[in-house]
Amino acid sequence: MSQLRPPALKHLRLDRLLANMGYGSRREVEALARAGKIVLDGEAIHEGDQHIYLRENLSQRMLVDGEALDPPPGMALMLHKPLGVTCSHKEAGPLVYGLLPARWRRRDPAISTVGRLDKETSGLLLLTDDGALLHRIISPRAQIAKRYLVHVATALKGDEAQRFAKGDLMLEGEDTPLLPAEFQPLSAMTGYLTLHEGRYHQVRRMFAAIGNHVEALHRDRIGGLDLPNELAPGQYQLLDANTLACVFDRG
C-alpha cells in the first residue's frame, strides 16, 4: 500500500456543519434544507443528515439562501487591527471580533486571535479556528519573527541595536533574559524591531528597560507574511494555504 496516501477528508452532517458555522440551530438548518435553500454544485440538498466533505473550495460550491457559504472550519485570516480595539472575547469596549461578520462569532470551534496585540498597537493580526495551527505559530520553539515599527518618545541613542541583539536584556519582574532581537533605526525616533518570542507588552517593556518610552507601535510582518498596503485598518482578508505558508518562511 502507498505510504503517500493523502489524509482522509473530514466530513460532517450538513445540519451540524452549518449549525457550527453559526447559521442557526440544527433544526433551523434542517428547515432551510427542506425549503431548498441550501445548494451544492447547483443542486438543492433537502436532507440535513447528508454528509458534506470539507474541501477548501466548499464556499465556492455551496450557496445558503442564495449567498456563498462562509469559510468552512479550518479557516485563517489576517486583520489590520486598528488602534483602540482589544484582542479579547469578553472585555468591555470594542473587540477585534466585532470587526468580523456577526455570524462568525457564533462559530464552534470559535475563531481566536493568534497571540495578541495591545489595545493601543495596530497592524497585522492573525486569527484562526484551527487550534493546531494557532499553537504551531505561537509555540516558543517556532520562534517565528514578528516585526514592529516603533516610534519612541526620546531620540534613539544609537546603541539600541547592540543592546537588544546581545540576548541578555532582563525585563522587570522576569527571571530569564530575552532572546536576541534585531533593531534597525529608521530615523531619530523610529525603527523596526524584530522579535522571535512574544512576552507580555514586550516591545514597550524593552524600551522601558533601556530608558525610553514607546509612543506608537505597529506590527507589519509575521514570518514572511507582510500586512498588505491595501488592507485598511479594520479590514480583514482570508488566507489561502500558500499565503498562510509565508508565516513559516524564515526569509
Give how far Cα 249 sits from Cα of 56, 125, 133, 142, 245, Å: 22, 17, 15, 11, 7
Catalytic residue (one of 15, 49, 108, 118): 118
In angstroms, the CA 131 to CA 154 distance is 40
Residue 118 known to be catalytic:
yes
Return the bridge partners of 194, or none.
147, 182
Residue 18 CB, shortest distance to ligand URA, in Å, is 35
Residue 67 CB, shortest distance to ligand URA, in Å, is 35
Q: Binding marks (x or -) toward ligand URA, 85..124, rule CB under 6 A? A: --------------------------------xx--x---
- Considering only residues 163 through 202, tell me which ones interact with ligand URA, judged by CB under 6 A: 201-202
Q: Using H for helix, E for strand and C for coil, what is the string for 78-92?
A: EEEECCCCECCCCCC
Q: Binding marks (x or -) toward ligand URA, 33..72, rule CB under 6 A? A: ----------------------------------------
- Position 151 contacts ligand URA (CB under 6 A): no
- Close Cβ partners of 127 (under 8 Å, ≥ 6 residues apart): 76, 77, 78, 79, 96, 100, 111, 112, 113, 114, 236
Nearer to ligand URA, 100 or 209 (CB): 209
Residue 23 CB, shortest distance to ligand URA, in Å, is 34
Residue 149 CB, shortest distance to ligand URA, in Å, is 11
Nearer to ligand URA, 26 or 146 (CB): 146
Among 128, 117, 99, which residue's Cα sits nearest to residue 195?
A: 117
- Position 217 contacts ligand URA (CB under 6 A): yes
Nearer to ligand URA, 26 or 147 (CB): 147
Residue 194 CB, shortest distance to ligand URA, in Å, is 11
Which amino acid belongs to residue 7?
Answer: P
- Taking CB under 6 A as the criterion, the residue among 58, 76, 114, 203 binding ligand URA is 203
Nearer to ligand URA, 28 or 226 (CB): 226
Cell readout for 81 is: 487591527
Q: Reduced to 3 states, what is the DSSP secondary structure of residue 132?
A: helix
Instruction: Write the DSSP string, 5-59.
Output: PPPPPPEEEHHHHHHHTTS--HHHHHHHHHTT-EEETTEE---TT-EEE--TTHH
Q: Which residues of 31-45 are buried (b: 16+ CB within 10 A; e: fewer)?
A: ebbeeeebbeeeeeb
Nearer to ligand URA, 107 or 147 (CB): 147
User: Which residue numbers are catalytic?
Assistant: 118
Q: Can you give the binding site for ligand URA, defined by CB under 6 A? A: 117-118, 121, 201-204, 217
